[in-house]
Structure 1
Amino acid sequence: MSFLWAIIAGLVIGLLARLVLPGRQPIPLWLTVLLGIGGAVAGNALASAAGVRDTGGVDWIRHVFQVGIAAVLIAFVSPLWARRRA
């Protein structure tokens, strides 16, 4: 069941990251999900290192880290994907 939640979280985080980035990202949905999962894992690690992974309420800082890292990953991979397709 945790595998399913990882895919759902990766989809949500990846789509939010694409919304944050300006312009169009020519990557498929499956790659958005994979990069969202990567952003979620790296964001959790960064939040743990910063000591803000588990707070009393909603972990907004952790979510900002997750979406931010996913946005960086998407911004890095999008031009590579577009160049590969050309």
Structure 2
Amino acid sequence: MATLGSIIVWAIFGLVVGLIARMLYPGRQSMGLMMTMLLGIAGSLVGGFISWGLGFRPEDGAFRGAGWIMSIVGALIVVWLSLYASSRGTGSYRGA
């Protein structure tokens, strides 16, 4: 039952972080609630890796998810990367 509880907490946390990141990012992002939730979870992981890379490591050495701020920053990075990748794939290449 603890595993199910952890999954539910991660899902709710991801949804909240994803919604905040989508509100902060300018422009329109067309994604549903499930994609917003996955955005928040991916943002938390990206934010955790960024904070780990900057030297903020827990004492016991275990990887922990980022806090709220780094999760939102990570989600903003994920939104930017996804919109950048989708705009590059539309065939709007203006090369020689």
TM-score exceeds 0.5: yes
Which residue in the other structure is 1:4 paired with?
A: 8
Which residue in the other structure is 1:24 paired with?
A: 28
- 1:40-79 equivalent positions in 2, closer than 5 A: 40-52=44-56, 62-78=67-83
Post-superposition CA distance 1:14-71 (Å, at most 9, x none) = 00100110121112221111111011122123223334466xxxxxx83222101101
Say if 1:27 and 1:78, in contact at 8 Å, map to a contact too. Answer: no
Normalised TM-score (structure 1): 0.70
Unaligned runs of 5+ in 1: 55-60
Unaligned runs of 5+ in 2: 59-65, 91-96
Letter in 2 for 1:17: A
Q: Percent identity?
A: 31
Q: How many residues align?
A: 77
CA RMSD of aligned residues (A): 2.6
* 4+ long deviations beyond 6 Å: none
Letter in 2 for 1:47: S
Normalised TM-score (structure 2): 0.64
The whole-number CA distance in structure 2 between the counterparts of 1:63 and 1:76 is 20
- Report the structure number with the largest CA radius of gyration: 2
